[in-house]
A = this chain, B = another copy of it.
């Protein structure tokens, strides 16, 4: 009998990526109200649009839409076995745009196009740039974002493709926002039910908002969340293997931090109901179980949406810390992030006007 072909996926290495190729990722996933309940239970978000069918319908949605970050995590999770199983580091993401709302019953799948490759000077790894696209069961794009990761080479000596680095926008332009948000019936928007009297016009660039509350993370919680997204990165699940790693324990999925910080941000940004775009983000430092997450936001910019008077956009910088309350708005001294900072996230949110 010939030796059988190895059936186990050991992941792609740097030399396995070809410029321009499109990778179809596995496991389409129907999103349900069960996912919504778990997302609520894992982070405690309180945005009325995503929480209540009645509230959402009054505004013009057919039903309460799925939380944008839940969509992001599910679309992202599918890319892990193909893109980042042999990643050394997630370096960044950019130009993330939520292009269509997702509702319970929709089925999400993901493809990624290789949009750039750059071997490191040492030659034993390289940066892979991909644009990942999440689609629903009608093949409509619901989310598009670029991401770049540092991936090991299988063999250091393998020649690499010619270097190609894509140009990516630092900020999504206001005219590109809003596709993921239907026209909102403003007269039906109830501030009391929404939990905040502050609409778009109440915020000004430069304003800083402490979200006050802290949330401690348990191993069971981040594992349950990360599996919900069918994200298989072993660093999040394998305490046995982690003993030999730099940190000696499981790392929490960076997206878990984003969702925690976003949920905390309700206190101060209760009407910022929709994430329209992700401009970029950096996981400054890892989070571990037992740590407590705090967050604060800075308003970077307020923008009108061309042709729309129902909603306006705020560009927000969301800073998350661990074991450090944010009453003093910790950020940077020079180039150095302050102690305790774990996330520096730049996104556009929509609010009613």
Residues in chain A within 8 A of chain B (CB atoms): 1, 4-5, 7-10, 24-30, 32-38, 40-44, 46-48, 51-55, 64, 81, 104-105, 107, 109, 137, 192-196, 198, 202-204, 206-207, 209-216, 218-221, 223-228, 230, 232, 234, 237-241, 250, 267-270, 290, 292, 323, 325
Contact = CB atoms under 8 A, between A and B. Distances in A.
A211 B107 contact: no
Contacts of A238: 213-216, 292
B221 A8 contact: no
21 contacts: A1-B204, A5-B198, A7-B209, A9-B195, A9-B267, A9-B268, A25-B192, A26-B48, A26-B194, A27-B52, A32-B33, A38-B41, A41-B224, A41-B227, A44-B230, A46-B230, A213-B234, A216-B219, A216-B223, A219-B220, A224-B224
A195 B239 contact: no
Contact of A27 (B4, B46, B220): B46
Contact of A227 (B10, B25, B42, B55): B42
Contacts of A27: 46-48, 51-52, 193-195
Nearest to A202: B5
B107 A53 contact: yes
Given A209-B8, A239-B290, A214 B234 contact: yes
A204 B290 CA distance: 46
A8 to B, nearest CB: 5
B227 A40 contact: yes
A193 B30 contact: no
Contacts of A240: 214, 216, 292, 323, 325
Which of A105, A210, A240, A325 has the most B CB atoms < 10 Å from its CB?
A: A240
Given A41-B225, A53-B105, A237-B215, A32 B30 contact: no
Which of A7, A10, A33, A241 has the most B CB atoms < 10 Å from its CB?
A: A7
Given A27-B47, A224-B224, 13 more contacts: A1-B204, A8-B268, A9-B268, A26-B192, A27-B194, A28-B55, A30-B52, A32-B33, A42-B224, A54-B107, A213-B232, A216-B223, A221-B223
A241 B292 contact: yes
Given A34-B35, A34-B37, A216 B193 contact: no
Contact of A38 (B37, B64, B220): B37
A267 B32 contact: no
Given A40-B228, A219-B218, A224-B42, A8 B211 contact: yes
Contacts of A227: 40-44
A10 B52 CA distance: 24
A33 B33 CA distance: 7
Contacts of A26: 46, 48, 192-196, 270
Nearest to A198: B7
A45 B242 CA distance: 22
A40 B220 contact: no
Nearest to A263: B227
Contacts of A228: 37, 40-41
Contacts of A28: 48, 51-52, 54-55, 193
A217 to B, nearest CB: 9
Contacts of A33: 30, 32-34, 104
Contacts of A204: 1, 4
